[in-house]
Amino acid sequence: MIYRIWLRLICAAFILAVFFQLAAAQDNPEKEYQLEQITVTAKKEESPAYEKSVIPEEEVSRPSVGGSVVDALKNQAGVQLRRTSPIIPENNKLRLRGFDETRLRIEIDGVPIQGDGSYGGISVHWSTLSTEQVEQIEIQRGAVSAKYGNTLGGVVNIITKEPSDQPKTSVSSVYGSLDTWDSKISHSAKAGPFKWFLTGSHFETDGYLRNNYSDRNNISIQLGADLPLSVEIGAGFDYSEMETGMAVYNQPDSPFYDSGEPDADAGIIGGPGTRMRNGDLTWGDNSYADDENSTFKTFISKKFDTGSAKISYRLWNQERTEYFFDAANPGKKIYERTTKIEDNNWLLKADGQFTVKDHLLELGGELKQYGWGDQTVGYIDTAYFQQSINYFYYVKEGFKGQPDNKKYAAVYTQDTWRFHSDWELEIGLRQEWYSADEVDPEAFGFSWAAEEAEVDERHLDPRTALTWRPWEGGSATARFGIAHRYPTSPEHFWWYLNKGSDFFNAELHPEKALQYELGFEQSLTSVARAAVRGYYYDIENYISSTFVPGTGSVVYNIKEVKIKGLEIELSADLRKDLRAWTNFTWQDGDKSGDPWDVDNRLSNELPDFPETMFNTGLDYRLTRFQAKLSLNYISEREHFDGQDRINLDSYTLLNLFASYRFWENSWSKWELLLSVDNILDKDYEEEKGYPMPGIAALGGLKATF
């Protein structure tokens, strides 16, 4: 609360001070400077059919009711968002080509940022990154090169801003629907060899679902220095603190139903956990969670005459305290626990690339150690819990964590060879090692041994690609790769639990994916571009899970999953100031050997998997004014609701963003911002049981100095 008040006061004082300075300068009329238009044309060899999709800064920083970086991805081909609430980044679930965040590689400046999702946590902590830090986001899909590792769906790389030669300060604040405030401040500068980038932000909203508010603060400090011998060093610290109201079950069958709030479900107490008494979700209003995420990172890099090398290190922690209150008496606390979801997990990564004649040689590796920390129960009223609480005594007493439970290591080498002016060959190999130690049964109070829960895997995966550029602006690329995906901590834990209790599951294997892709791209000077990409993935031992009342999560392998799809992207400059774009995704997922769906109730389809997705829009840009109108369509999806198969309806969203630079001089510029989502006010769900907001608008001001 104090942080929020001070941030607002500082921002308000800063804006007022600058405003009065501008008012005092009115005697000097504003001058406009028209710069000569510069057209940048990419070299022929820099436009392969598999080039990256790039989301620019202005689209990333667009205001939204979620206030999250992930909101900027929704217009991209192959992207599906599955959220229980857009205002809680921890509940954001990103899919690319049907693969969730555990099967993608999410990076910041080339360094992976995925957590392990321990204790029912999530893979990517989107809330730890303010949009004010982001220069652009790059997306590479599917069978990427060997340097990116065990990813099935592709790579999302978030590139942060570099300080400019001149000091730069930016302040913005927007307000809108759901009583949402989003305020940001940043400052960057250079002084001799030193440089820095500082950001702070505050986001708050009442939310859309019952008791699902959010109050979030972010701080980021990035420092760097350019040293002699072409050496650069840097270090950074990111911190986020968030209070989130836990969504309350609000359906007509609830004795505590509130017709004035949207009908919505609510999840179980985060795992490993249990439902409360008689399976009822008996927590109510005032239940909330405090989340703290912190990350320390550092790097050293050196440039050579023919290439460069870089070593990066990342250390991260997450601690979460949950407070549950009685649904009938919101003033009565019934449960409190604190969990170190991520406990000093770390990653070390090294990369190098060198040009030797017609070859681009890349090599490197990474080492990652991770696990989970302690869980402490501060208070419990056992009358509110099922009798199974006596069986899973950790729900009453907490347990000791295993911070060093898992290890991952990899090395890779890769050669991109331009053996002809029109042909390019890429060959790579990646060797991976993965180990998961046994789960300590004493930590959870179980009587069975856990030795059989160890996992020890090693694989050598090849990647190759061939690109042909038959004429100016055109290229075709064929790719093949093998990738493995290893169990996360929650999957490993629940598999151990199921196996030890002789329930359902016997073995757990890593996923192995054979990836085949073909892409074609054609550019018509700088006016238009078309790209077509087709892909087919054959995945053995696909890891899946479901929730079973009275048992918890059940983790198992599906014998085989096949995913195929087609992506088409088109863009054209209709006029100098108007650009049209569209992308279409068709995808299909089949499965066989599903031990949980032996009767093929999903007709061999993967759950929650839309067959078609379509995005289109117009970008309008003048010297001082820009606007973006976009439309998103997601087709219907089949979904498992317990043991029943149901259909989730398709939906279409229309969104608008506009900014107007109403004042600019030699030392500052001022912009008005407007963002409107779901203009048509459609009812829709990305995740079963959780309705999304109707029309939502935000407006505000941004000043840059």
Has residue 50 got a pLDDT over 80? no
The band of 183, judged by pLDDT with boundaries at 50, 70 and 90, is: very high
For 550-581, how does the pLDDT look when each residue is reduced to its tens digit (9 = 90+)?
Answer: 666 788 889 999 999 999 999 999 988 999 99
- Which residues make Cβ contacts (< 8 Å) with residue 222, sequence separation at least 6? 133, 160, 196, 197, 198, 234, 235, 236
Tokens of 26: 């009115």
Token look-up 């990333």 returns 60
Q: How far apart are CA 659 and CA 619, in angstroms?
A: 12
The burial of 616, by beta-carbon neighbours within 10 Å (0-12 exposed, 13-18 middle, 19 or more buried), is given as middle
More confident residue, 149 or 230: 230
Q: How far apart are CA 75 and CA 388, in angstroms?
A: 45
- Which residues make Cβ contacts (< 8 Å) with residue 274, sequence separation at least 6? 268, 385, 386, 388, 389, 392, 395, 552
pLDDT at residue 11, as a whole number: 40
For residues 431-460, average pLDDT: 78
Closest C-alpha among 592, 611, 483 to residue 544: 592
pLDDT at residue 115, as a whole number: 82
Global pTM? 0.88
More confident residue, 507 or 511: 511
For 265-290, how does the pLDDT look when each residue is reduced to its tens digit (9 = 90+)?
Answer: 876 555 444 456 555 556 889 999 99
Q: How far apart are CA 367 and CA 373, in angstroms?
A: 20
The continuous run of DSSP H or E covering 2 comes out as helix 2-24
For 609-662, how does the pLDDT look when each residue is reduced to its tens digit (9 = 90+)?
Answer: 899 999 999 999 998 999 999 999 999 998 876 667 788 899 999 999 999 999
Calculate ∠ Cα 64-69-73, nearest 5°.
90
Compute CA distances 346 → 338, 374, 484, 517, whole Å: 21, 17, 21, 33
Is 249 within 8 Å of 275 (Cβ atoms)?
A: no
The structural architecture, per CATH, of the domain 2-27+52-704 is Beta Barrel (2.40)
Q: How far apart are CA 86 and CA 212, in angstroms?
A: 10
Q: Compute CA 639 distance to the chain's CA centroid, rounded to the nearest angstrom.
A: 23
Domain boundaries, the chain: 2-27+52-704
Is 207 within 8 Å of 87 (Cβ atoms)?
A: yes
Q: How far apart are CA 562 and CA 490, in angstroms?
A: 24
For 163-182, how does the pLDDT look when each residue is reduced to its tens digit (9 = 90+)?
Answer: 988 899 999 999 999 999 99
Compute CA distances 169 → 76, 172, 200, 674, whole Å: 30, 10, 12, 21
Is 12 within 8 Å of 700 (Cβ atoms)?
A: no
